A and B are shown apart, each in its own frame.
Chain A
């Protein structure tokens, strides 16, 4: 058994509304959507128009510049709408599902008989390739690359995150098959990181190199794990797959169909009955978060529905759809209220890592936190704070300043290849200057992609 990597730096934010280990199956949603903005750096070229009939696994669009990379419908039905935003940017392709689902059939041979190009072709055709991400940059992997290794995080440490051992308890076969598929691509190993002290289906996955991690969030971030297992150097390419997506990939090769059924945790302080829900990817939010599911808000207050967790998730409208990679929905109160002399108050109900407030006295307490920014934007003033929340050998403040200055060499030297937005989300959370750190990091990564290619 491997050694435990113990991380000290980081923070677990205890929120009200953890999902109870109980699973319900959501009824078929009124509509499903694939949203191109979920895929970083992808410009869609449409293959369908409104009114077209599609099956689950039928292509809806491909990536401009790489025609073989298809994005497919999660359900069978009729293309109901193609929503566009500014400059006619495609925001979502909406499919109204049939009562009886039909699936595109994929002829699957035993994996041994496939060359790696054939496996890639199947994944690309089925629309599951976008589940394979590459580091550096956190973008969809290039099928032509041979990654140094593949990394999978077997647990999510974000606030209110789902328990992956519960989510995947019936998926062992698919997980094993998924690992076999990934092994086709890399000359190195497939690494699976687990939380030390947990025991479940993920401990039994075959064909992987297991690693154990202990410590607070972001211990579950695959980027942090890579840093401690086999850090990314300039020129390296590694791939990462979300562990639930691994099961979906395995399902394709076990059953020959694109079955994007996934289990998400419905969480957050404003949810009546926080629990796990089985849905199909891209389901309308309204099929999971119903008005009856939401606690009544006082004084006409609003809630925010987040597809994902509170640190890195995407805000979605109640009329919107789940994002492609989401394993979680979080519902928290909006914080659009004024607070009289708030900065001078004791604020017993709010959370801060700073001892200038009192939440450090109650380490076990669970908080109801709203979306208020709790201050105004300022220049970066406080130093040494970010370092405590990024468990990597990286100086976050210097990296951020290099990005803001657009200094490619500095960014490279200071570790831009090793991070994506989510790794610095905690820094953004604790920053008293309220800097938009995650967007800065993404801008930096996009600048690197633009300048180096």
Chain B
């Protein structure tokens, strides 16, 4: 510890202004503050400060993501071995996990290297400290991709999300759209074949490694194609546990709920947003039940909550404090609409089997408007008080 501290103190002049590597100042600073909480003391305002900081907030989210990530790795292997008909390997938790780990690691590395590289450069240009927000985004991006997406696409999508989604607005805290979802949306619209259909969700299917007749379709794709058949053989337990094809991190509702408990317990994510997404989705499902115009509409409403990216989006994406609403009332409204819209897109729109991504991005755009009206109500109360007093 002392040795590291001494080393850092020795290196600091090299990276400070006038030093040889002053262009890497923000990078040095990021690593230094990662290792040591700085000795900065309060100069203005309150003399003591809560020991919570953004690093801690972000690391809590990363920890909350771990169950879904680890399960995702396992499931990547499981789906692959099922597809290639290797029942022995599919039965071994370890070999499934190891396969998935090796496939996933490059995606995580690419996402972090590209994203953090841009963040460090942006921080250097602005003269800011590096913001920890990307520690979360960089993990989210691979988790919401299909496993067979090419690495260069991950790189391009990450770069797009960080530069256009975040840095042009002023960096973390100023962005309008959730950066991770923006990366996914980029792939979704630019390279559609790699993120839709039946073959991308299972490792090896695109390369034709699957056995004859194996379908890698996600339950939502199946639902959009053949509702009757899918509902007749609905394997709700697998849907809930997550042993189904899908984006890497999204499949297991159980693992996601563990993350949700961590986020809610620590208070890092808003329970208002999270709960209202589920409520919105469920009520929308019930509404479709009432309408019952086709068979998809008659599906039990709660199926929606455990299928596809609904739970993952509700727990990890909709609750992003920067892009969600900022007022408590606004959070409830925005969350509710995200859930309702996602289910509506699934059921009504024939083109998109999944609606969570678009619902969240759409509500990201509307959140400031919702907040505007909530804050306006506060202003109106104040003005009314003024009128009464006169």
Q: Which residues of A contact B (CB under 8 A)?
A: 13, 231, 233-236, 304, 306, 310-313, 315, 330, 332, 334-344, 347, 350-357, 369-384, 387, 393-395, 397-398, 413-415, 421, 425, 428-434, 436-439
Give B374-390 as 1s and 0s: 1 = Cβ < 8 Å from A's Cβ atoms: 01001101110110010
Instruction: Say which residue of A236, A332, A381 sits within 8 Å of B47 (CB atoms).
Output: A332
Q: Looking across the interface, which residue of chain B has its beta carbon closest to that of A335?
A: B41
Chain A residues, CB < 8 A from B265 = 355
Asked whether A338 and B55 contact (CB < 8 A) given A371-B41, A372-B49, the answer is: no
Instruction: Say which residue of A334, A340, A434 sits within 8 Å of B49 (CB atoms).
Output: A434
The answer on a CB contact under 8 Å between B331 and A356 is no
Chain B residues, CB < 8 A from A371 = 41-42, 47-48
Beyond contacts A343-B53, A380-B173: 20 other A-B pairs, Cβ-Cβ < 8 A, are A235-B386, A338-B5, A342-B36, A351-B51, A352-B50, A355-B267, A356-B57, A372-B42, A374-B37, A376-B38, A379-B172, A383-B321, A383-B326, A393-B381, A398-B326, A413-B383, A425-B46, A431-B49, A433-B173, A439-B44
Chain B residues, CB < 8 A from A335 = 39, 41
The answer on a CB contact under 8 Å between A432 and B56 is yes
Instruction: Say which residue of B54, B324, B378 sits within 8 Å of A432 (CB atoms).
Output: B54
Which 8 pairs from chain A and chain B are nearest by CB?
A375-B53, A379-B173, A342-B37, A438-B45, A350-B51, A343-B55, A339-B37, A338-B36
Asked whether A356 and B38 contact (CB < 8 A) given A377-B129, A379-B171, A381-B322, the answer is: no
Nearest chain A CB to B169 CB, angstrom units: 10
Does B327 sit at the interface, judged by CB under 8 A? Answer: yes
Nearest chain A CB to B192 CB, angstrom units: 33
Chain B residues, CB < 8 A from A350 = 51
Q: Which one of A231, A380, A398 has the greatest number of beta carbons of chain B within 10 Å?
A: A398
Chain A residues, CB < 8 A from B38 = 338, 373, 376
Chain A residues, CB < 8 A from B241 = none
The answer on a CB contact under 8 Å between B326 and A384 is yes
Chain B residues, CB < 8 A from A332 = 47-48
Q: Looking across the interface, which residue of chain A has its beta carbon closest to that of B172?
A: A379
The answer on a CB contact under 8 Å between A310 and B50 is no
The answer on a CB contact under 8 Å between B39 and A395 is no
Instruction: Say which residue of A304, A306, A378 sits within 8 Å of B131 (CB atoms).
Output: A378
Does B60 sit at the interface, judged by CB under 8 A? Answer: yes
Nearest chain B CB to A11 CB, angstrom units: 9
Chain A residues, CB < 8 A from B381 = 393
Chain B residues, CB < 8 A from A431 = 49-50
The answer on a CB contact under 8 Å between B45 and A437 is yes
Q: How far is the CA of A342 from the CA of B42 in the complex (A)?
A: 17
Nearest chain A CB to B345 CB, angstrom units: 26
Does B270 sit at the interface, judged by CB under 8 A? Answer: yes
Does B190 sit at the interface, judged by CB under 8 A? Answer: no
Nearest chain B CB to A285 CB, angstrom units: 15
Chain B contact residues (Cβ within 8 angstroms of A): what range?
35 or more
Q: How far is the CA of A349 from the CA of B101 in the complex (A)?
A: 38
The answer on a CB contact under 8 Å between B326 and A433 is no
Q: Is the interface of A mostly helix, strand, loop or mixed?
A: loop
Chain A residues, CB < 8 A from B45 = 421, 425, 428, 436-439
Instruction: Say which residue of A233, A414, A437 sits within 8 Å of B375 (CB atoms).
Output: A414
The answer on a CB contact under 8 Å between B321 and A372 is no
Asked whether A393 and B378 contact (CB < 8 A) given A372-B37, A372-B39, the answer is: yes
The answer on a CB contact under 8 Å between B385 and A375 is no
Asked whether A428 and B46 contact (CB < 8 A) given A372-B40, A393-B378, the answer is: yes
Q: Looking across the interface, which residue of chain A has its beta carbon closest to that of B4?
A: A340
The answer on a CB contact under 8 Å between B59 and A343 is yes
Q: How far is the CA of A200 from the CA of B35 in the complex (A)?
A: 52
The answer on a CB contact under 8 Å between A370 and B48 is yes
Q: How far is the CA of A379 from the CA of B128 in the complex (A)?
A: 10
The answer on a CB contact under 8 Å between A387 and B328 is yes
Q: How far is the CA of A107 from the CA of B172 in the complex (A)?
A: 64
Chain A residues, CB < 8 A from B313 = none
Q: How far is the CA of A106 from the CA of B129 in the complex (A)?
A: 59
Does B174 sit at the interface, judged by CB under 8 A? Answer: yes
Asked whether A429 and B129 contact (CB < 8 A) given A233-B389, A372-B39, A384-B326, the answer is: no
Chain A residues, CB < 8 A from B34 = 341
Chain A residues, CB < 8 A from B383 = 413
8 A-B interface contacts by CB (under 8 A): A344-B56, A374-B53, A375-B53, A381-B173, A429-B46, A431-B50, A432-B53, A434-B53
Q: Which one of B38, B132, B386 has the greatest number of beta carbons of chain A within 10 Å?
A: B38
Does B133 sit at the interface, judged by CB under 8 A? Answer: yes
Does B70 sit at the interface, judged by CB under 8 A? Answer: no
Chain B residues, CB < 8 A from A428 = 45-46, 49
Chain A residues, CB < 8 A from B41 = 304, 334-336, 370-373
The answer on a CB contact under 8 Å between A373 and B40 is yes
Does B33 sit at the interface, judged by CB under 8 A? Answer: yes
Q: How far is the CA of A136 from the CA of B302 in the complex (A)?
A: 53
Give B10-23 as 1s and 0s: 1 = Cβ < 8 Å from A's Cβ atoms: 00000000000000
